[in-house]
């Protein structure tokens, strides 16, 4: 783990969910600056975690998935990822107060 370099793989589901959150902030609150800042903060948090994605406690392991999920909190949102070999695969983006079971 120490000295390992990890690459990043961002899944389409994550991008779709983040896009929906941004669109909601822009449409409902008409706050384009907050929407842009959310995207900036989310990607900055992912980038910071990329240096040591396994240094945190796993939060969930579905029965049909070999790797456990890890999470990153960004404001009122949660980013979920798994680590496969040397790849940090970012899979889900959820509003923290409305968590749904991961599939």
> Helix (H, G, I), strand (E, B), or coil: what is residue 44?
helix
SS3 content of the chain, % helix, strand, coil (to 5): 40, 25, 35
- Residue 63's pLDDT is 84
Does residue 101 sit within a domain?
no
Dump pLDDT digits (tens) for 21-76: 999 999 999 999 999 999 999 999 999 999 999 999 998 877 888 899 999 999 99
Dump pLDDT digits (tens) for 72-89: 999 999 999 999 999 999
Range of the domain at 67: 7-95
Domain total in the chain = 1
How far apart, in Å, are the Cα atoms of 93 and each of 1, 16, 18, 71, 98? 26, 9, 6, 10, 11
CATH of the domain at 19: 3.30.2310.20
* Strands 87-95 and 7-10, sheet pairing: parallel
Does residue 13 sit within a domain?
yes
Chain Cα centroid distance, residue 22: 14
- Residue 2's pLDDT is 55
Does residue 1 sit within a domain?
no
Does residue 35 sit within a domain?
yes
């Amino acid at each position: 783990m120490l000295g390992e370099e990890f690459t990043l793989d961002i899944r389409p589901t994550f991008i779709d969910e983040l896009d929906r959150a941004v669109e909601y902030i822009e449409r409902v609150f008409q706050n384009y600056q907050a929407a842009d800042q959310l995207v900036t903060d989310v990607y900055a948090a992912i980038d910071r975690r990329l240096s040591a994605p396994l240094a945190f406690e796993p939060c969930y392991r579905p029965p049909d998935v070999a790797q456990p999920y890890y999470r990153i909190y960004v404001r009122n949102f949660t980013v979920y990822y798994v680590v496969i070999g040397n790849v940090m695969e970012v899979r889900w983006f959820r509003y923290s107060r409305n968590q749904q079971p991961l599939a």
